[in-house]
Amino acid sequence: MTGLVGNIKGNLPGTVKKFEIIDGYDWSEAIGKYFTATTERDGKRYNWAIGAGRRIYAVWAEEEAATQKELLDILRTAGYIERPEAGLLASAGRDGTSKYYLDEITEDSNHSAQKLLGEYLAAYSEMNLPLDKLAKGYKIHSLEPVALAEDSPVREIYPNAYVYRADYELYPAYKEFYSYDTFNGSDFKVTANGEQRYREKYLLFVENVYLDSNDAADAHKFYFVGFLNPAEQNITLDTDTYQKVDMWYNTEMRDLVLYALQTDYLGNAGRTARIVKALPLSQRIDTSVGTFTAEEDGRGVVLQTVKEPYGLTLNYNITAFNDAVRERCTENANILSRTIGNLGKCKMRLYYEGENGKTVATMEFTLTPGKGADLEKLLVTEAKE
């Protein structure tokens, strides 16, 4: 056998004892999708699994450590991870940030989501993918918004997140050896024409309400965060959405906030207001009478700059005081400590309708400037309003 197959065999270290084409080959009989091999070198035998497309992938182990089938499964899983639809897009960029975003929302979130999904699917023909994953085109049949549960932490903390259900098709570039297996959890169906039809894929998009390009050049307006796969993780769609949007904020926004919005003084009211706005939950602050208010008002943001330790009070209107809110408040306190140089205390009052009527939960943080909250000194109380 000539061509690539011969080159692969010729470059395996040691003596090739066995070599097999697993999934067929192209019209020239030179490019197999997957191969297995057994080699012998220095008195030891090794099993191999090799995948060939635009790049060549290989995994190997001593014969007693792993079978060829086990190695082949590892190789195919690695190929799936490389596939663009796998996982969070925020991890796909070369610099660790998202590659799919818009600097302006075009018409509305629905239109923007359709635009970004189209850009993403078009990239299947341009990415450096193995040939058994390469697509030459696509068709979006539908993209519909999905309403999350009323008590979802996403609605509370990230109301700027959008979930869509997509139905689309991918047109394989090389049907003769396109990968149609579904062992890795793919939920497509093969059409009569040999295309891949994904009838129910859940997608996550986020509108950035935290920073703009004046704050940081790397801040964009609308992001395609990634695919949601709750069934694979045995969790709910709400939980999967919250975990991924929270990861997106920590990946895309948090460091920008930390480095772009720092101030040495709590009394720098304009900068302090920008920092508060850049935190999740900020949309739950009532600023109808202005950002800064008096302590007794129960709305907006309160500054205490008369004496040390200088303090900041944030008043939130929420629907439930739960673990997600507690964790988010704690993380917000940590960010405030690292962005406002002389902030010593932070109080967060959370107003909600409890079982016994209107209730306010108060979380009081003692901060070490630049380092975060001292959780051993955290005080949490709940009382009727």
Could you give the percent of the chain with pLDDT greater than 70? 84
Q: What percent of the chain has pLDDT over 90?
A: 55
**pLDDT value at residue 127:** 58
Q: Distance (Å, rounded) from C-alpha 253 to C-alpha 274? A: 13
- According to DSSP, the β-strands at 161-172 and 135-146 are antiparallel
Q: Who wins on pLDDT, 123 or 150?
A: 150
Q: What is the mean pLDDT of residues 200-228?
A: 91
State the Cα–Cα distance between residues 365 and 142, nearest whole angstrom: 47
In this predicted model, which residue has the larger pLDDT, 204 or 55? 204
pLDDT at position 133 is 67
pLDDT of residue 205 exceeding 70, the answer is yes
Q: What pLDDT score does 257 carry?
A: 93
Tell me how far apart the alpha carbons of residues 47 and 40 are, in angstroms, rounded to a whole number: 9
- Cα–Cα distance, 343 to 312 (Å, whole number): 7
- 189 sits in which H/E element: strand 189-190
As a residue count, the chain comes to 385
CB 248 within 8 A of CB 206: yes
Least confident of 140-144, 199-203, 331-335: 199-203
Q: What is the pTM of this model?
A: 0.77
pLDDT digits (tens, 9 = 90+) for 343-371: 999 999 999 998 889 999 999 999 998 88
Q: Supply the DSSP symbol for 154.
A: H
Q: Where is pLDDT greater, at 178 or 121?
A: 121
> Does the pLDDT value for residue 69 go beyond 70?
yes
CB atoms under 10 Å from CB of 28, counted, come to: 10
Pairwise CA distance, residues 299 & 313, whole Å: 10
Q: What is the mean pLDDT of residues 234-247?
A: 92
Q: pLDDT digits over 81-111, tens only?
A: 445 554 445 433 334 455 788 999 978 899 9
Q: Take residue 156 and report the two structure tokens written for it.
A: 């509370």
Q: How far is CA 226 from CA 137, 182, 235, 374, in A?
A: 20, 20, 17, 34
Domains of the chain: which residue ranges? 3-82, 89-257, 264-384
Q: Which residue has tokens 């904020």?
A: 249
